[in-house]
Amino acid sequence: MPERWYKQAVVYSLDVETFQDSDGDGIGDLRGLINRLDYLARLGVTCLWLNPIHPTPNRDDGYDVTDFYGVDPRIGSLGDFVELVHQCENRGLRLMIDLVVNHTSNEHPWFQSARGNPDSPYRDWYVWSKAEPANKDEGEVFPGYQRGTWSFDEEAGLWYHHRFYDFQPDLNWSNPEVREEIGRVVAFWLQLGVSGFRMDAAPFVIEEIHPDSADRRFVFEWLNDLHDHIAWRRGDGIMLAEANVDRALIPEYFGPRGNRIQMLFNFLVNPRIFLALARSSAAPLVTAIESSPPIPEQCGWATFLRNHDEVDLSRLQESERADVFDAFGPDQNMQLYGRGIRRRLAPMLGNDRRRIELAYVLQFTLPGTPVLRYGEEIGMGDDLSLPQRDSIRTPMQWSDAPQAGFTSSDKPVRPLVAEGDCGYPRVNVTAQRADPGSLLSWFERMLRSLRECPEFGIGQATVLDPKNDAVLAVRFDCPVGTIVALTNLVDEECTVDLSPQPGTGRKPLDVFANRPYEPGPTDLSAVELDGWGYRWIRLARPIAPG
Ligand code: NOJ
């Protein structure tokens, strides 16, 4: 089994701007993040993924870049970034950054030059049409908030394509010069020490756009080129791509020999976790795992519950989506783009500690590498008075000091959640650090246990049949051992029979569980589970003891 760091990682995603301010200007910054690295190391995560850090007019929270080689001066300098890399290395933490190269900001000097001058060397770096495209209103990503996908630019006298907002003109990836430039961008950050990139909007990056055709053609070979380029510059560098695509297309993204993208966010599983929780049934997850396409050995899934966007339910059937909306986002104001929920997990689950644990245990024991969003480890809430996805992008709650210790300014970049059950006077790191029974302490224990279980990251997953629709039981086999993970999705205790189970023959050992259980019979013929309980049972460990 070749060693692949990303298959045994725990990724923590954060936006520098809302994590920790160090200079009192109200905006989180790189120095603030450096000061919090010990917290992250103690939590037990192994890799940080930073949302965009580049200069930006900030009209899409940094996903509108004006300089791919720079750091947004509001959060620091390149010098601060290199110091961050160094301090991460000191703690054995890896660093990934967002690679937002489907588009630029319309304020990027490339677009400014391209629109203003037909002879500009950057003219062909964007996607233009002389005639008004017939499909100009189709294919919007943010329905209700975005005006079409082609807009007329007065200065150029041409239409330009934008898959996202009109201030995010798409780069023309068919132009080899664009691909070469992105190669330089990637090389630059690898040289500065990042271990990889979260590739934004991958399907749109590799999509060839023609103004007079609605046919979609994807050029997967561009991903091979990027893969090889990264591998040449940094052997263990990776891409983790956002590609919310049909199941049938997924193997194309990994590549026939695993030579395109190493990791994909699992958008097939994410909405089905919510469906499983809403229906108290393991069936949606059983189907999702069993129907996952086979993937090359060196590739892997990244699982997530909450990210910086809405929970996207568009892959569910209408009745399934309705059940999830009813359970977790019943009010219109909790929903977004007609397809998703703009809430954090704790309020979605009524701040019920047992259900929050259950949800995270479910995610962390599904095949793949878990990705955790900042603040979820303490059960942060949302602010539905903020527009669109800003509701879940409020600053980190460090303490009960003014502005939660995020900043000494009284004008934080975004308001803190101050009121209610999730407000920072009640939910904050300092209080939870002092309390061994807190959600944060539970996360620390869970992550420590997870890191003792490489089976979840590298093992072969087999769904078992516990003959109980509310229980998900998955067995993970790999050369270093075998683990069975059980989660009970109802608030009713049960005993399940998993016998016969190859590899048993000694007392099953709970590596992690919602409480200490009696070991039960060796052949797993009677495994007890509390209501909303969970157990990770180690069956065999040929190499290490325990
Ligand atoms: C996907 C990102 O996750 C989202 O936050 C962003 O708005 C769009 N891509 C555009 O870059």
DSSP state of 124: G
Residue with tokens 């962390």: 364
User: Cα–Cα distance between 68 and 104 in angstroms, integer?
Assistant: 9
Convert the pLDDT of each residue in 26-48 to its tens digit. 999 999 999 999 999 999 999 99
Residue type, 526: A
Encode the chain (546 residues) as per-residue pLDDT tens digits. 567 999 999 999 999 999 999 999 999 999 999 999 999 999 999 999 999 999 999 999 999 999 999 999 999 999 999 999 999 999 999 999 999 999 999 999 999 999 999 999 999 999 999 999 999 999 999 999 999 999 999 999 999 999 999 999 999 999 999 999 999 999 999 999 999 999 999 999 999 998 888 788 999 999 999 999 999 999 999 999 999 999 999 999 999 999 999 999 999 999 999 999 999 999 999 999 999 999 999 999 999 999 999 999 999 999 999 999 999 999 999 999 999 999 999 999 999 999 999 999 999 999 999 999 999 999 999 999 999 999 999 999 999 999 999 999 999 999 999 999 999 999 999 999 999 999 999 999 999 999 999 999 999 999 999 999 999 999 999 988 899 999 999 999 999 999 988 876 677 889 999 999 998 888 899 999 999 999 999 987 655 544
Instruction: Compute the distance from residue 425 Cα to the ligand 1 centre, in Å.
Output: 31
Ligand 1 atom showing the smallest separation from residue 163 Cα: 10
DSSP state of 226: H
Q: Which of 449, 451, 457 is nearest to 511 (CA)?
A: 449
pLDDT at 481: 87
Find all residues with CB under 8 Å of 259, minimum gap 6, and list them.
224, 227, 228
Residue 118 backbone dihedrals phi, psi, to 5 degrees: -60, -25
Question: How would you class 517 by CB atoms within 10 Å of its CB: exposed for 0-12, middle for 13-18, buried for 19 or more?
Answer: middle
Instruction: Compute the distance from residue 289 Cα to the ligand 1 centre, in Å.
Output: 26
Question: How would you class 215 by CB atoms within 10 Å of its CB: exposed for 0-12, middle for 13-18, buried for 19 or more?
Answer: exposed
Residue type, 49: W
pLDDT at 68: 98
Residues 469-475: contacts with CB within 8 Å, 24+ apart?
469/281, 469/282, 469/283, 470/280, 470/281, 470/282, 470/494, 471/282, 471/496, 471/529, 472/276, 472/282, 472/285, 472/286, 472/362, 473/498, 474/289, 474/365, 474/366, 474/367, 475/501
Q: Count CB atoms within 10 A of the CB of residue 543.
A: 7
Supply the residue whose CA is at minimum distance from atom 8 of ligand 1. Answer: 63
User: Cα–Cα distance between 525 and 321 in angstroms, integer?
Assistant: 36
Report, as residue numbers or ranges, the catalytic residues. Answer: 200, 242
Q: Which of 431, 440, 434 is nearest to 360 (CA)?
A: 440
Supply the residue whose CA is at minimum distance from atom 10 of ligand 1. Answer: 63
Question: How would you class 248 by CB atoms within 10 Å of its CB: exposed for 0-12, middle for 13-18, buried for 19 or more?
Answer: exposed
Ligand 1 atom showing the smallest separation from residue 307 Cα: 3
Instruction: Compute the distance from residue 63 Cα to the ligand 1 centre, in Å.
Output: 6
In 61-157, DSSP assigns E strands to: 94-99, 128-129, 150-153
User: Cα–Cα distance between 176 and 194 in angstroms, integer?
Assistant: 25
Residue 472, token pair as written in the block: 């998900």
User: Cα–Cα distance between 469 and 235 in angstroms, integer?
Assistant: 44
User: Cα–Cα distance between 92 and 290 in angstroms, integer?
Assistant: 35
Kindly state the percentage of the chain with pLDDT values over 90: 93
Q: Within its chain, how far is the Cα of 141 from the centroid?
A: 18
Q: Ligand 1, residues 200, 308, 336, 373: which to mutate, most atoms within 8 A of Cβ?
A: 200
Per DSSP, the three-state class of 336 is strand
pLDDT at 502: 80
Q: Count CB atoms within 10 A of the CB of residue 546.
A: 8
User: Cα–Cα distance between 408 and 402 in angstroms, integer?
Assistant: 8
Find all residues with CB under 8 Å of 329, minimum gap 6, and list them.
311, 335, 341, 342, 343, 348
Ligand 1 atom showing the smallest separation from residue 102 Cα: 11
pLDDT at 504: 66
Q: Count CB atoms within 10 A of the CB of residue 370.
A: 24
In 163-299, DSSP assigns E strands to: 196-199, 207-208, 217-218, 238-241, 263-265
Q: Ligand 1, residues 164, 244, 264: which to mutate, most atoms within 8 A of Cβ?
A: 164
User: Cα–Cα distance between 62 and 80 in angstroms, integer?
Assistant: 18
Residue with tokens 């009121």: 419
CA 427 vs CA 339, 357, 378: distances in Å: 29, 16, 7
Convert the pLDDT of each residue in 245-287 to its tens digit. 999 999 999 999 999 999 999 999 999 999 999 999 999 999 9
User: CA-based angle 218:219:224, to the nearest 5?
Assistant: 135
Which residue ranges have their beta carbon within 6 Å of ligand 1? 60, 63, 100, 164, 200-201, 242, 308-309
Tally DSSP H helices, then E strands, for the chain: 16, 23
Q: Got the DSSP string for 269-322? A: THHHHHHHHHHT-SHHHHHHHHTSPP--TT-EEEEES--SS-EE-TTS-HHHHH
Q: Ligand 1, residues 60, 264, 339: which to mutate, most atoms within 8 A of Cβ?
A: 60
- First and final C-alpha spacing in the chain: 22
Residue with tokens 């979260």: 198
Residue with tokens 């629109």: 115
Q: Which of 172, 200, 487 is nearest to 360 (CA)?
A: 487
pLDDT at 274: 98
List beta partners, residue 158. Answer: 153
- Residue 238: CA atoms inside 13 Å, Cβ hemisphere, count? 24
Q: Which of 457, 474, 469, 452 is nearest to 534 (CA)?
A: 474
pLDDT at 542: 58
Q: Which of 465, 463, 459, 453 is nearest to 477 (CA)?
A: 459
Instruction: Compute the distance from residue 100 Cα to the ligand 1 centre, in Å.
Output: 8
